[in-house]
Amino acid sequence: MRARFTAAAVLLATLGGVALAQEPSDPQAQVRRHLEAYLRYFYAWGDDVQVKVGPLHESTLPGISTTLVEALQGEQKFQQVFLVGAEGRLLVRGEILDTTQDPFAPARRGVNLINQPAKGPADAPVTIVEFGDFQCPTCAQIYPTLKKLMAERKDVRLVFKDLPLVNKHDWAYAAAVAGQCALQQSPEAFWALHDFFFENQDKLNVQNLDARLDRWAESRDGTVGLSDRRWRVDSAQFRTCRQEKSTAHRVDASLREAAALGLVNTPTLLINGRPLVGNQLREIIDRLINFELALYEAQQKQQGSAPR
C-alpha cells in the first residue's frame, strides 16, 4: 500500500507542479510538499486542481502544528484546517480549541479599527467587521441586509475592511483602492461609493471602472455644482489618489490582517470577533447580535454598572 501511495503521490505531485525529486532545504517546505502530495493522492486531485498548503503554525499542543489547506477547481473551492504532527507523518482534520481561552479574542485583537470606514455609535456594545470585496456577488447580496440592519439598530457598529479576491475578480482591487481614496475625503464619501459599487456591480467591469469612478466623483464635486450639500468630493484629488502607492498599501494592510486570521471568503462578518461567512439571513445576524448583547449586559451587571 505504501508503494502504491508513493508512486501515485509522485505522479499527482508532478502533475500539480510539485517536483518531489528536488526537495528544498527548508524543513517546513519539505513537510508542506509531502502533505500536498499525500492530499492530492487522498482526494484524487489531478493537474486541474490548484492546491495550496499554508504555513505551519505552532498550536497549543506540544509537537502539533496547524495549517490551512486550500484547493481550487474552477468555481469549486475546498478549505480545511489540518493538525500536523510527527514531522508531517500525521494529519488530523479539524482545529484545536483551548477551552480556557476566548476563541474569538484573536480576531478582535487582530483587526485594526482605527481610521476605518464605520457606521453606528463608536461605543456600541457590538461591532460587526465586514471583510468584503466590491466585485463579490455574495457581498452584493448581503449589502441590503446590512444596510437595513444599520438603519434600524442603534446598538451596533459596522466597520468595512477590504478583502478583494484578486484571483477571481479583476476590478476588485482597484475598487478597494478607490474606496480608500473616498475615505480620505470623508466617511460619507466612502459609504456613498460603497453603495455605488454594490448597486451597480453588474454594470462595472475592468474596462469601464476608471471612467465610471471619474463620473461618480465629478457628479459630487462642488466645483461642478451637483454635490450633496452635506459633503463633496474633489474629483481631481480622487483621481490622483487612485494612482498613489500609499493608497494601495492601506488595502494591502487589510489583506494581511485577513490572511493572519485565515479569512479567505467574502463576505466574512466578525460579530465581536465571531465569524459568520456568506450571505446570511437577517435573523441569524440578529440572533448573534442579541447573544453578544446579553453577554455584555451580564458583564455590566457583574461589574455593578448599568448597561448602555
**What cell numbers appear for 87 in the block?**
514531522
Residue 228 covered by a domain: yes
178 closest CA partner among 192, 167, 166, 168: 192
104 closest CA partner among 280, 265, 271, 259: 271
Q: pLDDT tens, 82-119?
A: 999 878 889 998 877 788 889 899 999 999 999 999 99
At 93 the pLDDT is 87
Cα separations in angstroms, 219 against 33, 189, 196, 200, 215: 53, 12, 13, 16, 6
Residue 306 covered by a domain: no
Q: Are residues 121 and 211 in the same domain?
A: yes
Q: Are residues 82 and 132 in the same domain?
A: no
Least confident of 9-13, 128-132, 304-308: 9-13
Helix (H, G, I), strand (E, B) or coil at 65: strand
Residue 308 covered by a domain: no
At 308 the pLDDT is 52
**What cell numbers appear for 75 in the block?**
468555481
Residue 98 covered by a domain: no
Of 46, 70, 93, the position where a domain reaches its end is 93
Q: Are residues 192 and 260 in the same domain?
A: yes
Between residues 29 and 15, the one the model is more confident about = 29
Domain that holds residue 182: 105-301
**What cell numbers appear for 97 in the block?**
480549541
Q: Are residues 26 and 173 in the same domain?
A: no
Sequence-ordered list of residues with C-beta below 8 angstroms from that of 207, at least 6 positions apart, any chain: none
Q: pLDDT tens, 297-308?
A: 988 888 875 555
Instruction: Report the domain count for the chain.
Output: 2
At 101 the pLDDT is 86
Cβ atoms within 10 Å of 300's Cβ, excluding its own: 14
The residue whose grid cell reads 474629483 is 235
Q: What is the CA radius of gyration of the chain?
A: 23
b/e string for 94-127 if b means 16 or more Cβ within 10 A? eeeeeeeeeeeeebeeebeeeebbbbbeeebbbb
pLDDT band for 48, please (50, 70, 90 cuts). confident
Task: Please state the rounded mean pLDDT for residues 243-268.
Answer: 94
Confidence check: pLDDT of 9 > 70:
no
Cα separations in angstroms, 141 against 45, 58, 119, 255: 32, 37, 19, 22
Beta strand 156-162 pairing with 126-132 = parallel
Confidence check: pLDDT of 179 > 90:
yes
Residue 307 covered by a domain: no
At 228 the pLDDT is 62
At 41 the pLDDT is 85
What one-character-per-residue DSSP string does 149-179 give? HHHH-SSEEEEEEE---TTT-SSHHHHHHHH
Q: Are residues 119 and 55 in the same domain?
A: no
Of 93, 116, 142, the position where a domain reaches its end is 93
263: left (phi > 0), else alpha (psi -120 to 50), else beta? beta
At 143 the pLDDT is 98
At 21 the pLDDT is 40
Q: Are residues 21 and 146 in the same domain?
A: no
Confidence check: pLDDT of 242 > 90:
yes
Q: Are residues 132 and 233 in the same domain?
A: yes
**What cell numbers appear for 236 in the block?**
481631481
At 225 the pLDDT is 55
Of 93, 123, 148, the position where a domain reaches its end is 93
Q: Are residues 85 and 183 in the same domain?
A: no
Residue 19 covered by a domain: yes
At 19 the pLDDT is 43
pLDDT band for 27, please (50, 70, 90 cuts). confident
The answer to pTM > 0.95 is: no
CATH number at residue 213: 3.40.30.10
Task: Please state the rounded mean pLDDT for residues 114-137.
Answer: 97
Q: Are residues 63 and 177 in the same domain?
A: no
252 closest CA partner among 167, 173, 183: 173
Least confident of 49-53, 221-225, 276-280, 283-287: 221-225
The runs of H, that is alpha helices, within 186-244 are 187-199, 209-218, 235-241
pLDDT band for 164, please (50, 70, 90 cuts). very high
Q: Are residues 116 and 72 in the same domain?
A: no
Confidence check: pLDDT of 226 > 80:
no
**What cell numbers appear for 26 in the block?**
527548508
pLDDT band for 75, please (50, 70, 90 cuts). confident
Task: Please state the rounded mean pLDDT for residues 61-90.
Answer: 87
Residue 234 covered by a domain: yes
Q: Are residues 85 and 166 in the same domain?
A: no
Rounded Cα gap, residues 126 and 103, in angstroms: 17
Helix (H, G, I), strand (E, B) or coil at 245: helix
At 76 the pLDDT is 78
The DSSP letter of residue 22 is S
Q: Are residues 50 and 150 in the same domain?
A: no
